[in-house]
Amino acid sequence: MEGIMNKLRHLDAYPKVNEDFYSRTLSGGFITLVSSVVMLLLFFSEIRLYLHPVVETKLVVDTSRGETLRINFDVTFPAIACSILSLDAIDISGGQHLDVKHDIVKKRLDVNGNVIEVRPDGVGSRKMEKPLQRQGGRLEHNETYCGSCYGAESIDGECCNSCEEVRDAYRMKGWAMSNLDLIEQCKREGFFQKIKDEEGEGCNIYGSLEVKKVAGNFHFAPGKSFDQSNIHVHDLQAFRKNRFNLSHTINRLAFGDHFPGVVNPLDGVQRMQKQPIGMYQYFIKVVPTMYKDENGHTIQTNQFSVTEHFKGAERGLLDNLAGVFFIYDLSPIKVTFAEGHVSFLHFLTNVCAIVGGVFAVSGIIDSCIYHGQKAMEKKMEIGKFN
């Protein structure tokens, strides 16, 4: 048994030195104190890293098919009325959503930015549920009202019972309405009076769009949109204006759901229009993103980058193109974020590396200082004898 113990004693990699041979110095004490503080700081930093999740990032090819893209927006126009502003969405597959009203809310704003009225359906004049006239005459008892569409009927006997329905019928035909004074429904509803009453107001429009996951654009522009010779234009003649101030503030713009650490570069962007007519263009590259938290919950969303351009012109030259356009395209690369924790063995390895590394480096520094001091003292003694 004693022989085994002696063999183990010879394997000792940490030979002990008698304390009588120790030489303690002031510099050694200072280095010990500094190295202890450094070790503690690095140790607590490693604990913090171990306790908090780390995010691993990967780039993969986006192979998803048949999905939709959800666009959340909140934009304020301080100098254009809600009755004038419309929202359209168009994609390269030929899909068009003109004068979007679903999931859209508009707030009328006064010159100070205070809310005057909230319109859940958002766009256009309010419809008259009980009109008093039937194409110029009085309604008889129990008679059903059927207003004329002024040649824009899609089927025989179609009724347009409000100014908004007449304008929609013209839009579906791709016609512009040159003179709303001749439209009985618009006169009855006081269409121009409402526009006049809202003159000088602003509009806050917010909501969401569900579009195909292909390249396209959505835009805010004055007037009703329609197709003229396969060209997308807006009818501005009804508003009798040749100047639209499209200054705007983008309170929020996001493609998909929020996830930790996301940065939407257009949030809070403010642009002031100085020319009579102008078109704002934001060219957006949408990057599909997947975020997986430490509990395994997955968020399928998007990030985006953006460049912008403003096209200005003299009055009357850009009437059908004035607006704020968001032109987006999708990246074929998908970014994945996955939360995870550092393993305990990795944590233990790092702690050992911290302690051993600081101890070794501080020992080298102490040895250099000690031997340097000894060399200086020896040279000084030799100098005294000479």
CB 42 within 8 A of CB 314: no
State residue 208's pLDDT score.
Answer: 93
Give the position of tokens 């835009």.
219
State residue 382's pLDDT score.
Answer: 74
Write out pLDDT tens, residues 142-188: 446 788 888 788 777 788 887 778 877 877 776 766 666 677 777 77
- pLDDT: is 370 or 206 the higher one? 206
Integer-rounded Cα radius of gyration of the chain: 37
Q: Look up the pTM and report it.
A: 0.69
Compute CA distances 19 → 16, 22, 24, whole Å.
Answer: 9, 5, 10
Distance CA 236, CA 244 (A): 10
State residue 265's pLDDT score.
Answer: 95
Closest CA to 235 of 189, 190, 174: 174
> DSSP class of residue 25?
-
The model's confidence at residue 122, banded by pLDDT at 50, 70 and 90, is very low
Mean pLDDT of the residues in the chain = 80
Checking if the pLDDT of 235 tops 70, the result is no
The most confident of 88-102, 118-132, 225-239, by mean pLDDT: 88-102
- pLDDT: is 220 or 4 the higher one? 220
Checking if the pLDDT of 260 tops 50, the result is yes
State residue 125's pLDDT score.
Answer: 39
- pLDDT: is 302 or 100 the higher one? 302
Closest CA to 122 of 143, 94, 103: 103
Record the tokens describing residue 325, joined without a space. Answer: 């356009």
Give the position of tokens 């009202």.
145
Counting every residue, how long is the chain? 386
Task: State the CB neighbour count (10 A cutoff) for residue 321.
Answer: 17
State residue 95's pLDDT score.
Answer: 82
Distance CA 189, CA 194 (A): 9
The structural domains of the chain, with segments of one domain joined by +, span 60-124+206-339, 344-385
CA 152, 205, 215: angle at the middle one, nearest 5? 75
Distance CA 315, CA 242 (A): 7
